[in-house]
Structure 1
């Protein structure tokens, strides 16, 4: 009998998975990222439109509007992070074909959204006192406090929408949320112009009217999402009926645990950025208005990073589930290259046409003179600021939850906040100094996260 052929032993260790982009992976990432980007940009566009309308009332109203939104936005970002665990758990349950479990998770998420939302709304009622305690001048604190007190009531509906869009995305219906956002943005823009400038027999309410319009639009958005899920969504009966047992504290432990890390991360970052808004207010209404316009544009571009990062987290997680480290590295590299390519184009546009972008927000010569040079650097800031978000999401796909949070704590609290104070107030660079401080912190955060990504990639070789 012939002996079986001998298999030669490998002469060297298998090659570590390389961070190389892939064209097919780019297509898969784009298909996943587009609805996420559209949904997040749609939510952000409401505030962009609000700032554009209010900006044409003057630097003073825009400064008050920005300060008022700052307090509410910090609560909102914390809520968005805390609800992230609900989205993850709904997707996992849907993957197991457990639609009744998806329904229970969603109903718990609605309860969390309302609790967080009303807590934030209650905090917003104390806004005038908070702003005075934080050293803002009395007139600005009063105007901004009025905006925050009203805008705070939009927190419950917007978080209900976020919880519901998590269900729609998890069950493969992301474009329903996009359609709802298009409708809500049209309501917001129309009512904002009407209530802000007056018309049809209504008085001009200025920034307060624009805020009221956004509150109405967000209520419409939440109502539309609930109506679709409860009345129109195919297979909705499989989600089950509401029961008190849906809200057992122990059953939501994993849902909350995932949300704590993301909530802390977004809360840290949002709170640090709130400090920058306060510094801009201390520098004066003109600098605060210029900073608001610049960071508003950055916030819009940041949604591209949220979309690509979210898609990358899904692709990396799927590859991890298959035990395929090469595919994990390929997804990570492709996401980074895709994001960099998009943002380089955006950066060139900002660098070439800063006055055009600033002009969307204001026609005041003094404000344009301060804002235009700052806007020119927003493209670079958006590239770096968004890059850390993309890498952080990739790391979460690798299963690393708390390192991104720690890097945010260090870069945006320990570095950005003192650097912003020094550059904006100590060196009197104003809004430009604040943008420079954000860029420095983002470079640091991105470097730390990239180093961790390379470490994890090599560990899985």
Structure 2
């Protein structure tokens, strides 16, 4: 097949992906703003935000991963022109996502004392606990927002969640500035001020997306609730069957990145702060890939609804090629700007130098990180989630984490060794997931679509 068969899809892929990219970057920007503003308070407060967010990101990955089940079901119903089915998936998904927000809030409160037993610097833990108390409550609006977002994404209407997240970032920046430093009539709350800013911005985000979606003609029919179809356990079971493995996929990946925070904390406050800077920068480029991963789920789901399996494979490979090119550019930028970017976070020579070294490893795994998340998105569109979940576990925790733990000891490679484990895990994941998608897509063409001369 000629290269143009893939490149001609780039424009449509990007039209769907760019709002998701910006929206996902909006989530990361909440952390970036916190890091930039708190970094001016010193290395210990920055490390405390890193430590508190480590638990938040683990639990949040479960909730967000679970909500991802909504998108392929909505996309398939949309491709098959099944309004009633799509509405039912949306309503049940909203109920489950809201309940998951409550569960994650309670889970964070219960898990909070673990920070005292992870061999972290005592001054960092003392600062992290009050921050975590407030951010935990923001799981409630965030998970409800995710249900609306994944629903709209499934209908290929990705720009509304982008508007919500970008505007919520403005709210976050304003309240962070006022509450961290005590500007005007507001008290100086430092880390707790950053947490309150995050909480306010997430309630705003939920209100905004609800308000804008319910007023658009495209969504009006989906917002009609009836007692007849409100609760169907078969729909809950299907969402759980897709959502639980997807949540575990995200959990396994986010958990290994979070493990780097704890491993770096064992090396000291400065290595932990450097690790947080490199993680934040890598997270921003990863969100670009996440946007294309969502695009893969949407477009593959549509083709499943249409039963067009040859098109499904061609479109998927166009997205794989696109993410490979984009992440290649980011890899080059990380190498060229490795000594400059960390300086925006903190004025500490040792922290900046350590972060610059980590960015070299981050540059290398940009390609595999981008590929694995997009291939996972395509498999999610096929509603294939169980074996990919096992693949993620093996790649990150059987291959990646042992490498991080062994080489991350201070007498070996330290911080660089920790990140070598990330490289090993992400590369293994990308390769194994590709083999899985290649097998399934070929099998669909062979068994469900007749050969066309």
Same fold (TM > 0.5): yes
Q: 1:199: which partner in 2?
A: 183
DSSP 3-state at the match of 2:340:
helix
2:364 alignment partner in structure 1? 380
Q: Which whole-Å CA distance do the structure 2 matches of 1:132 and 1:226 have between them? A: 39
Q: Please identify, of 112-121 and 62-71, the stretch whose mean Cα deviation from structure 2 is larger.
A: 112-121
Structure 1 231/331 Cα, relative in aligned 2: closer, same or farther at 3 Å?
Answer: closer
User: 8 Å contact 1:21–1:337 — kept in the other structure?
Assistant: no
Deviation at 1:323, TM superposition (A): 4.8
C-alpha separation between the residues in 2 aligned to 1:424 and 1:244?
57
Deviations 1:79-133 (A, max 9, x none): 1111122222233344454545444433322322222112221222244411113
2 CA distance for matches of 1:452 and 1:128? 38
- The question of 1:347 aligning with 2:331 is answered yes
The answer on whether the counterparts of 2:72 and 2:297 sit within 8 Å (CA) in structure 1 is no
CA distance in 1, matches of 2:42, 2:184: 23
Aligned equivalents of 1:263 and 1:139: distance in 2? 33
Match for residue 25 of structure 1? 9
Alignment equivalent of 2:172, drawn from 180, 188, 192: 188
3-state secondary structure, aligned to 2:139: helix
Provide the secondary structure at the position in 2 that maps to 1:184. Answer: helix
Q: Describe how 1:53-452 pairs up with structure 2 within 5 A.
A: 53-230=37-214, 236=220, 239-241=223-225, 243=227, 246-425=230-409, 427-452=411-436
- In structure 2, C-alpha distance between the alignment counterparts of 1:379 and 1:192, rounded to whole Å: 31
Deviates more, 1:396-405 or 1:380-389: 396-405
Does the 8 A contact of 1:262 with 1:405 survive in 2? Answer: yes
Q: Which moved more, 1:441-450 or 1:315-324?
A: 315-324
Q: Which moved more, 1:403-412 or 1:368-377?
A: 368-377
Deviation at 1:264, TM superposition (A): 1.4
1:138-185 deviation digits (Å, cap 9, x = unpaired): 332222222211110111111111101122233443222211222101
> Equivalent residues in 2 for 1:449-460 (5 A)?
449-459=433-443, 460=445
Do the aligned residues in 2 keep the contact of 1:128 with 1:142 (CA within 8 Å)?
no
Task: Find the aligned partners of 1:339 and 1:90 in 2 and give their Cα distance.
Answer: 24
Q: Is the 8 A contact 1:126 1:149 kept in 2?
A: no
Compare 248-257 and 227-236 and name the one that shifted more. 227-236
Whole-Å separation in 2 of the counterparts to 1:450 and 1:172: 25
Secondary structure at 2:408 match in 1: helix
Shift of 1:457: 4.7
Distance 1:184 1:408, change over 3 A: same
Cα shift readout 1:44-82 (whole Å, capped 9, x = no counterpart): 221122122222221111111111011111111101111
Report Cα offsets for 1:394-437 as digits up to 9, x if no partner: 33345532232111100111122221111112644333222221
C-alpha spacing 1:399/1:237, structure 2 compared with 1 (3 Å)? closer
* Structure index of larger Rg: 1
Report how far residue 243 of structure 1 moved: 3.7
| Number of equivalenced pairs | 445
Structure-1 separation of matches of 2:441 and 2:322:
19
**Separation (CA, whole Å) in 2 of partners of 1:242 and 1:132:** 48
Residues 316-339 of structure 1, C-alpha deviations (whole Å, 9 max, x = no match): 344455554443332232222211
Q: Which moved more, 1:320-329 or 1:220-229?
A: 320-329
The range that moved more, 434-443 or 228-237, is 228-237
Give RMSD over aligned pairs.
2.4
> Partners in 2 of 1:173 and 1:362 — Cα distance?
38
CA distance in 1, matches of 2:3, 2:401: 33
Runs of 5+ in structure 1 lacking a partner?
A: 1-16
Q: Give the TM-score, by structure 1 length.
A: 0.89
Q: For residues 398 and 287 of structure 1, what CA distance do their matches in structure 2 show?
A: 41
Determine if contact 1:93/1:102 at 8 Å carries over to the other structure: yes
Q: Could you say if the C-alpha distance between residues 443 and 170 of structure 1 is closer, same or farther in structure 2, counting changes exceeding 3 Å?
A: closer
